[in-house]
Structure 1
């Protein structure tokens, strides 16, 4: 099938159009008339060559789903903030270095993916995205997360793998619905005590922070629903006393840490925990089986 390289200006006359899929083409730009698609709820533009969005993208007031993966975007127009019904925005695999402050106006946004970009900072206005459930920002250039992230009470998944994050927000106790946290392959120096009050957490990965991460928070035992914990490739020498309170813990990865094998708190749990360590050649063993 021949690939599309451009769209006619007349496309804006399709005011009754609800879904538009233009993915996997060679489109370089969208005409300003795209804003005339006033009934459009789904717009799929992934895998094109779009380098810039027209300001009129903000006129798509009915839009619920917007897929811009695998394009050549370096920025977003501030008018994107007018998409107040937008629930899912995928910007994966572009060249975006900054997000506009207006991102915080996306009050209906539930899923935001900015993976594999060049983002150095997430604007503090992200805290105004009060419906956000998933924030995925893997493979960027983040050095920190704004404190406002820790106040998004609806957040269920937070993933910032492969960045340069040194610290997590101290406000994370407000993440009462957070179930998955992945901060692996960063430069994390500590896990804040406030995170231990995000008691819905089921999976936590702080592995591969190498020489930077040396201890876990004393209150980690508060995470009563934690089932999987990865602390591999760090410099953690001991587990806090409260570790024994993690009654639901089933998988623990500790490869490449200067820990005893197995740690006393894990041994106390007997065969309940699947324990991975460098001394077991990273093969699954069951403690005290």
Structure 2
């Protein structure tokens, strides 16, 4: 603001408060602010180091996409849980051990990336939260999870699920309820078998490499991918079947 105009305005306010006539004061006319002069609400913030992580300053409430990776976070900041407009939250490459149930209060959250943390479980409370209606992408890869609760299959809007490099000894037996799931990767776990409900999935891409399956081909006979297999994959499956 112009300094002289601001001084005149403050003088007018003081005189008006005292009941004086301010009609003769030289006040400049009000001019609408230009679009370029108005600061747009911040919708995206990316933090990739501990030193850049805000310790005292809060996060803009308008954020829709927040990434805070490589920040050595041991828990999820409560300030993050107040960002009700968040659609994408990336907390990968941290030291997070537990997920607070209040993540389920982020009613717009569509993507949650927790790759490479220290998680040992995924709570029932989150499975029963509003994430049931919003969450489409979930990355839990490279953690220490041994099992997922049965209620996990209530996250029925999931399209893409990454579970690679955990310690999973089983998958929820109601996996078939994830009717929107198209991309699933659970490579390098400790899965000895797949649940029978698995056959109900309509997957476009599936990666189960590096699991100690009791059968040589856990996909036989009933599990089908939604898209046709490549010639190479058909040949590979035939080789396994007729060894």
Same fold (TM over 0.5): yes
In the comparison of the two structures, how many residue pairs are matched?
199
Q: After superposition, give the CA deviation of every residue in 1:225-270 in whole Å (9 maximum; x if it has no partner).
A: 1111111111011111211111x21211111111123214x53135
Larger radius of gyration, structure 1 or 2?
Answer: 2
Please state if 1:206 is matched with 2:163: yes
Query: Could you tell me which residue of structure 2 aligns to residue 285 of structure 1?
Result: 233
Deviation at 1:198, TM superposition (A): 1.4
In structure 2, the gaps of 5 or more residues are 1-32
Q: Deviations for 1:107-159, whole angstroms, at most 9, x for unmatched residues? A: 43211100122111113453332211100011111112211113323111111
How far apart in 1 are the matches of 2:176 and 2:225?
19
* Range that drifts further, 184-193 or 222-231: 184-193
Cα 1:147/1:271, change in 2 over 3 Å = closer
C-alpha RMSD of the superposition:
2.9
Give the equivalent residue in structure 2 for 1:6. none
2:140 aligns to what? 183
2:90 aligned with 1:133:
no
Q: When the two structures are superposed, what TM-score results if normalisation uses the length of structure 1?
A: 0.60
Summarize the Cα distance change of 1:98–1:122 in structure 2 as closer, same or farther, 3 Å threshold.
farther
Mapped to 2, the partners of 1:168 and 1:147 lie a distance apart of 10
Query: What's 1:235 paired with?
Result: 190
Q: Is the 8 A contact 1:180 1:203 kept in 2?
A: yes
**TM-score after normalising by structure 2:** 0.71
8 Å contact 2:203–2:225 — kept in the other structure?
no
In 2, Cα distance between equivalents of 1:111 and 1:203: 18
1:263 maps to 2:211: no
* Greater RCO, CA 8 A, separation 6+: 2
**Which of 88, 100, 109 is the equivalent residue of 2:44?**
88
Residue by residue over 1:16-57, the C-alpha shift from the partner in whole angstroms, topping out at 9 and shown as x without a partner, is 8988xxxxxxxxxxxxxxxxxx8433xxxxxxxxxxxxxxxx
